[in-house]
Structure 1
Amino acid sequence: MKTSSLLLLAYYALFHAFNNPASGKAKAGITQAIFGTMPDGKEAHLFTLTNAAGMEVKITNYGGHIVTWTAPDKNNKQENITLGVPTFADYLKGTPAFGPIIGRYGNRIAKGKLVLNGKEYNLPTNGSGNHMHGGKVGFDKKLWNATPVNGAEPALKLHYTSPDGEEGYPGTLNVDVTYTLQKDNALRIDYRATTDKVTVVNLTNHAYFNLSGMKRDVLNQQLLIKADKFLPTDPTQIPTGELKPVKGTPFDFTKPTVVGARINDTTDTQVKYGFGYDHCWVFTDQSKKLKLGATVYEPKSGRFMEMYTTEPGVQIYTGNHLNGKVQGVEGVPYTRRFGLCLETQHFPDSPNHPNFPSTTLRPGENYQSTTVYKLSVK
């Protein structure tokens, strides 16, 4: 065979290897497509972030939802590891918060009341009588302005301006959230915000992870949390104010422990209140540096996730209220405990607990928070 023919064959082989995710290499970058149309006629888009290893994360600027995240198992099989619904219409109908940005305030505020500079503010409440995840039309239901950033580590920059008084919150809040798919198979989320009036901010992402690739529930996945305390709650899941040691309780994940080991311990009041785990763990390391907060390991697939964050706590939710009525992108019913949320955040109801780290943001200050979810196999 002529040298020119050999070179041509070699070129095509390299081209195929570079663009075929199954080969372990892909063309890194970000693409954009129309995902659907909002009721007011505005278009929502779906952005696909791809790194050179072939990992893909699909994110929509409607609520900043992580729609799918494909990651390799120990046999290099790419499968989705986050819960999501098939169509944009499904997202408009509403989901149990499958992967969106949560704000202004992630988690709960007791009775929807907070006091800032001596003035009381009343926020919308849910069936339990508390304010939840930013209100009736929180950041998860907003169409964000999107700026895709191409490159070896593709990023999606989202911006939303929340007007003064929205959902009862004071101050015009300018929010930027950037998703970056890194070369090391980690998804980094950077949150930034400024305000023109004193307000409260507690942003997070509400992704449900299932490292089995949607083959089974999360009860046999091994969870480690770098936290020696957690926040007990009242029956409506508002923190009592106590920081309780996890030692000797079903909340001790200081060593890798399967999620289902003690999740049905009916002798534990806190487990009963949450119908399983739906609590905030307090990291032993309370610094604002980026530190390891938790790990999750799925033995059959071999997938291993490390979660790093600058936040002081993480709300662990084990999909206790999923009931199989919602089907995912693969057509699999999402039954009870089919997903595991690791919502990095400040503590629930912080505005009403002076002993908790403050969530108050003032004019001239910059809210900054970073969380990284890194995938590997072992």
Structure 2
Amino acid sequence: MGYTVAIVGATGAVGTQMIKMLEESTLPIDQVRYLSSSRSAGKVLAFKEQEVTVELTTEDSFEGVDIALFSAGGSTSAKFAPYAVKAGAVVVDNTSHFRQHPDVPLVVPEVNAHALENHNGIVSCPNCSTIQMMVALEPIRQKWGLSRIIVSTYQAVSGAGQSAINETQDQLKQVLNDGINPKDVTANILPSGGDKKHYPIAFNALPQIDVFTDNDYTYEEMKMTKETKKIMEDDNIAVSATCVRIPVLSAHSESVYIETQEVAPIAAVKEAIAAFPGAVLEDNPSQQIYPQAVNAVGSRDTFVGRIRKDLDQENGIHMWVVSDNLLKGAAWNSVQIAETLHEKGFVRPTTALKFELN
């Protein structure tokens, strides 16, 4: 007997990819339900060539649902995920709302699937930029340990949603077709829809993703810091991030510098990454082979290359990490969590509701 799976936010950039991942999934599915806000309710989408009508998300939407995939914003998860849990569903949440909740495991299946054993009805999917870094670094951490991580990200606009994709394309057209100076194009969304000012992304790089915190790091940068420590179960790892938005539509890139606890031979590091599930080694400088965003789009894997020793620090290593932020960074990681819950027998009614109903 298969599952009834609901997707909350089914019409969004991540939700549409969740549908595709579910269509290709090994998860036994009897029925899918698409849920959304009133703006999209009533639309008809497909699932394996069958028509499915998008429903309005309400407190009663989750009766009979076994697995609920959420990707409709933190406020939607905060409001409706507890109702899904109360109805007996396991929630896989792709927003930031539950990531630091002590009763919610934060999971990248290749890295810490063991954390699923103690879920209380909600499992959180990490930030897209964190996920790909964890896949690249876990094989190194397992063999040589990690003491420090410094990461600079080059993140695609799709991480800010379909509206950011549309605005980027419009800005590029204004510059290329209409001859408008990039400084003068219309900007209403980036770097952060919730902040006071908005700047062009066309032919630009914006060193701000999300709003700034009191320590002058952005929330995106603090997410990477806190999530890394939680996933790797090590508060002693020093983590610092600078997150930058660039005019690429899909696939995030990262320059990652690490310091290992034990000196790690580069050849052995490459072998460990190549053998790790979900990681693909693309590293041959003599042939100009290295990860590229355009090649990562549409793939579930994380690509790692430019692996080299630091010139001054014996235990320092640099690398370049690329992954499709809508797939491994969001939709695929969520469906992969659902598959792992099924494989381990952890899709089950919850015995106690630990999340308050709004």
TM-score (norm 1): 0.26
Higher relative contact order (CA 8 A, sep 6+): 2
Q: TM-score, normalised by structure 2?
A: 0.27
Q: Counting helix residues as a fraction of each chain, which structure ranks higher?
A: 2
Bigger share in strand: 1
